[in-house]
A and B are shown apart, each in its own frame.
Chain A
């Protein structure tokens, strides 16, 4: 019980930097030549005085280049490119949970733990990964292959439960068995198929494709000629009534005289 409380109370990642041999200010980092082209194309999207808008994109690019994490040196480099203080980059990088500021395994398994997935068995998925890879949440396996984190809704609740790997590929409709299968394939160096793992196509319902099967009906248009005629008739009727009323009033007035 106490263990659980402590695990819940302690944060998953630290909000501050820890100086390590593999991650410090002197660690060399530079974007590759290909990525510099990418940097230029990203910067071109923003006005030069608002360069800093490109910060998240550049951090993501750096994360991709460094196998899934952003070293401190990369943040410093980005601060130089964007002409902002280093602290500004640290703030952004530490705010967003999708930036890993510590190294992760080759496959960063982000299991969705939000309500629909949880109802559909996300906890079993997590347990499977924990047992198969001998890791707990926020840990990396000894062989450096897997890192497990629990994340919030990944936006495919129809295919719950699901995991996202390295922030890109998603594997849906999981069961403990299919999850184990996936892990085994990765361990064997194979790449499993992306998407639903129960043979379902995208997010089709259990009865296959049911809607949008027939030809779409033509849109119904209003008959403007008729509408116009109706309107004219109505007007004429009203005019008649008003005339009759006027005539009656005139008659009454004459009688009084």
Chain B
């Protein structure tokens, strides 16, 4: 039960106490083992390797990985156990009381040396031209366990390279058959296309039929591979790990904001890697998060531009700011509209909000095409069960989204729970292959109504579930009947245990599509919807995903952003902003977790942080914003919303009560369509990325599988 300590009901507390004792008796039941002579208490479910790690002893390994099944085939983790004749693969051997493990004995060194000799027998000596060089497990461990001289005088084997697509380059001769990639594709990506074929010397890891690795998480194969067999395709031969600067940051291309490491060399982002964050992304990121950053080097706006009759003309900042100020001064605040883009940080949003309010403008829009639900309470637009709620839930109903293309990392978490926790999944909406078994129960809001009536067979399951979840895509709330759908879902929540105040559980989770959207809602920015309203000036703050007809043809458009995309195409005046790796900014993810993205490189050309541009513009216009540096603007954020300066933390909120109830209305029974038609290109950055273009070309035609794979008996 989440946050059960918040619950003050005495009967519940008694239950919790009981539960605590039940759970702790199992936990406290530890046994004593000796690692290199040191006594340590571990639970009896531990393996020797886990016990060694707990004792602070490093055990070398290749095939073992925390988040995947144990295969025990690399044999590198051999240890000696007293009174057992042979060395033991510690990753696959459970501890027993009083076991005495030696990890540094001569026998262990000899055993591991033998294993290493066999691994190196067929491993090419091409470290100087291998991309893994410097961060290679085999390289590191052969320093300790490798013999000085090889005794293998035969011909080394050569294995033909496989084609996994543009993201993963393969040099299969280097493969040591640890099978981590196979386990990943099977267990985490849910796409069992990899395997070992052949036997003995001819064993090869691959797809056998030469198909591509079409998973949205395929980039993680590179991180998993302990040697240089699977390497990062776009990064090939560009940098060595020791040249790179490491910046711990968060990704904003995915509204889950997975924790990432941005590796830079000089002024250039070289690559993006995932970082472990158990409450967000575990340790996976999807391919867009990982590879779309090269869009930051293409199509960039690096100078102020103004549209003239002969196309865009470059001007300097002073001219640009003056022109913007002049235009904005000519009209009254009512005639201006501000649009906030998908990747905007809270600092820029706050500055934009303050600036627009000072102009007398209240038409600020962040919600693409207008979300129909109020932003007054967080429960209305956040993932109320949290991402970690998936681990506790026993039934998930996904409504109106294809999780595999919209939230692949969340989908991987659900997949893990399906296989490990026996989680049941049902889907209303697009029924694509998600990588696990689910039940497709409908296509439209009609099914939701039926569940509410109790006429649908799924209603019984929902009734029985203890902590059910309903994942609702925010795109549904942007429909004209969005509020009615929300009302329907709220009713569902109250009828079934989706909202369960006793367990402090709200299973109704709304998946927002962008951090800019959530950030604006967190700061209470919603617009009045005035049908037929035609603004004279439109200020696009990094907004690219809009329909052209939303902006009147005679309006003066100021685009402040990074890429020459839709927004810049329509703009009359362009101000160069900074992308997410080029500014220090805070973001709010679908959980309501505030994360801090850190500056990795400086913006190209004349680009500036977005809030700085707004601050400068406000000064020229005579409405100076009262903050001069990052610290002061964060004080301003704290003034507006104190919970937005608690980093990497989800402020608890009243999630089990609908304070604002959505208005009931007629629900249109049209089909919930898939919102992402091309996973690789959904925003300005990924549209500018050459790697993503290659991926679209290579993978998309293979993904046109609008059916659930089935296994007919005949």
Determine if B195 and A72 form an interchain contact, defined as CB atoms under 8 angstroms apart: no
Knowing that A16-B210, A90-B197, A94-B197 are A-B contacts, what are 6 other residue pairs whose CB atoms are under 8 Å apart, sorted by A's residue number?
Answer: A5-B155, A9-B155, A15-B198, A17-B208, A17-B210, A87-B192
Determine if A81 and B714 form an interchain contact, defined as CB atoms under 8 angstroms apart: yes
Identify which of A15, A72, A86 gathers the most chain B CB atoms within 10 Å of its CB.
Answer: A15
Q: How far is the CA of A154 from the CA of B247 in the complex (A)?
A: 62
CB < 8 Å neighbour of A88 from B192, B204, B711: B192
Query: A36 contacts the other chain (Cβ, under 8 Å)?
Result: yes
Shortest Cβ distance from B711 into chain A, in angstroms? 4
Q: For B714, list chain A residues within 8 Å (CB).
A: 36, 81
Determine if A16 and B201 form an interchain contact, defined as CB atoms under 8 angstroms apart: no
Q: For B157, list chain A residues within 8 Å (CB).
A: 9
Q: For B192, list chain A residues within 8 Å (CB).
A: 85, 87-88
**CB within 8 Å of B: which A1-35 residues:** 5, 9, 11, 13-17, 19, 25
Write the A88-130 contact mask toward B (1 if CB under 8 angstroms, else 0).
Answer: 1011001111000000000000000000000000000000000
Closest to A8 in B: B155
Q: How far is the CA of A13 from the CA of B200 in the complex (A)?
A: 12
Query: B244 contacts the other chain (Cβ, under 8 Å)?
Result: no
Q: For B199, list chain A residues within 8 Å (CB).
A: 94-97
Q: For A17, list chain B residues within 8 Å (CB).
A: 208-210
Closest to A93 in B: B197
Q: How far is the CA of A242 from the CA of B629 in the complex (A)?
A: 110
Query: B193 contacts the other chain (Cβ, under 8 Å)?
Result: yes
Query: A83 contacts the other chain (Cβ, under 8 Å)?
Result: yes
Binding site for B on A (CB under 8 A): 5, 9, 11, 13-17, 19, 25, 36, 72, 80-81, 83, 85-88, 90-91, 94-97
CB < 8 Å neighbour of A80 from B196, B197, B206, B711: B711
Q: How far is the CA of A36 from the CA of B194 in the complex (A)?
A: 29
Q: For A88, list chain B residues within 8 Å (CB).
A: 192, 195
Q: How far is the CA of A61 from the CA of B601 in the complex (A)?
A: 62
Identify which of A14, A16, A94 gathers the most chain B CB atoms within 10 Å of its CB.
Answer: A16
Q: How far is the CA of A72 from the CA of B211 in the complex (A)?
A: 14
**CB within 8 Å of A: which B134-174 residues:** 155, 157, 160
Q: Which 8 A-B pairs have the closest CB atoms?
A: A15-B198, A85-B192, A87-B195, A94-B197, A90-B208, A83-B711, A15-B204, A11-B202
Query: B128 contacts the other chain (Cβ, under 8 Å)?
Result: no
Q: How far is the CA of A5 from the CA of B210 in the complex (A)?
A: 29
Q: For A19, list chain B residues within 8 Å (CB).
A: 209-210
Interface residue total, chain B, C-beta cutoff 8 A: 25
Determine if A90 and B198 form an interchain contact, defined as CB atoms under 8 angstroms apart: no
Q: For B704, list chain A residues within 8 Å (CB).
A: none
Determine if A16 and B208 form an interchain contact, defined as CB atoms under 8 angstroms apart: yes
Determine if B201 and A87 form an interchain contact, defined as CB atoms under 8 angstroms apart: no
Q: How far is the CA of A83 from the CA of B192 in the complex (A)?
A: 13
A94/B210 contact (C-beta < 8 A), A15-B203, A81-B713, A83-B711 known: no
Q: For A72, list chain B residues within 8 Å (CB).
A: 209
Determine if A80 and B712 form an interchain contact, defined as CB atoms under 8 angstroms apart: yes
Query: B624 contacts the other chain (Cβ, under 8 Å)?
Result: no
Q: For A97, list chain B residues within 8 Å (CB).
A: 199
Query: B207 contacts the other chain (Cβ, under 8 Å)?
Result: yes
Q: How far is the CA of A88 from the CA of B208 in the complex (A)?
A: 10
Q: How far is the CA of A90 from the CA of B182 in the complex (A)?
A: 14
Determine if A91 and B206 form an interchain contact, defined as CB atoms under 8 angstroms apart: no
**CB within 8 Å of A: which B191-243 residues:** 192-199, 201-204, 206-210
Q: For A25, list chain B residues within 8 Å (CB).
A: 209
Q: For A16, list chain B residues within 8 Å (CB).
A: 160, 197, 204, 206, 208-210
Q: How far is the CA of A127 from the CA of B155 in the complex (A)?
A: 27
27 chain-A/chain-B pairs, Cβ below 8 angstroms:
A13-B202, A14-B198, A15-B198, A15-B202, A15-B208, A16-B197, A16-B210, A17-B208, A19-B210, A80-B711, A81-B713, A81-B714, A83-B711, A87-B193, A87-B194, A87-B207, A87-B208, A88-B192, A88-B195, A90-B197, A90-B208, A91-B195, A94-B197, A94-B199, A94-B208, A95-B199, A97-B199
Q: For A86, list chain B residues within 8 Å (CB).
A: 209
Closest to B206 in A: A16
Closest to B160 in A: A16
Q: For A96, list chain B residues within 8 Å (CB).
A: 199
Q: For A36, list chain B residues within 8 Å (CB).
A: 714
Q: How far is the CA of A72 from the CA of B199 in the complex (A)?
A: 18
Q: For A80, list chain B residues within 8 Å (CB).
A: 711-712
Q: How far is the CA of A83 from the CA of B157 in the complex (A)?
A: 35
Shortest Cβ distance from A18 into chain B, in angstroms? 8
Shortest Cβ distance from A39 into chain B, in angstroms? 9
Q: For A87, list chain B residues within 8 Å (CB).
A: 192-195, 207-208
Shortest Cβ distance from B467 into chain A, in angstroms? 28
Q: How far is the CA of A75 from the CA of B157 in the complex (A)?
A: 28
Closest to A18 in B: B210
Q: How far is the CA of A129 from the CA of B711 in the complex (A)?
A: 45
**CB within 8 Å of A: which B496-517 residues:** none
Shortest Cβ distance from A21 into chain B, in angstroms? 15
Shortest Cβ distance from B325 into chain A, in angstroms? 63
Closest to A90 in B: B208
CB < 8 Å neighbour of B198 from A9, A83, A94: A94
Q: For A81, list chain B residues within 8 Å (CB).
A: 713-714
Q: How far is the CA of A19 from the CA of B209 in the complex (A)?
A: 8
Shortest Cβ distance from A174 into chain B, in angstroms? 28
Shortest Cβ distance from B680 into chain A, in angstroms? 25
Q: How far is the CA of A121 from the CA of B711 in the complex (A)?
A: 50
Shortest Cβ distance from A10 into chain B, in angstroms? 10
Q: For B155, list chain A residues within 8 Å (CB).
A: 5, 9
Q: For B196, list chain A residues within 8 Å (CB).
A: 91
**CB within 8 Å of A: which B354-396 residues:** none
Determine if B195 and A11 form an interchain contact, defined as CB atoms under 8 angstroms apart: no
Closest to A25 in B: B209
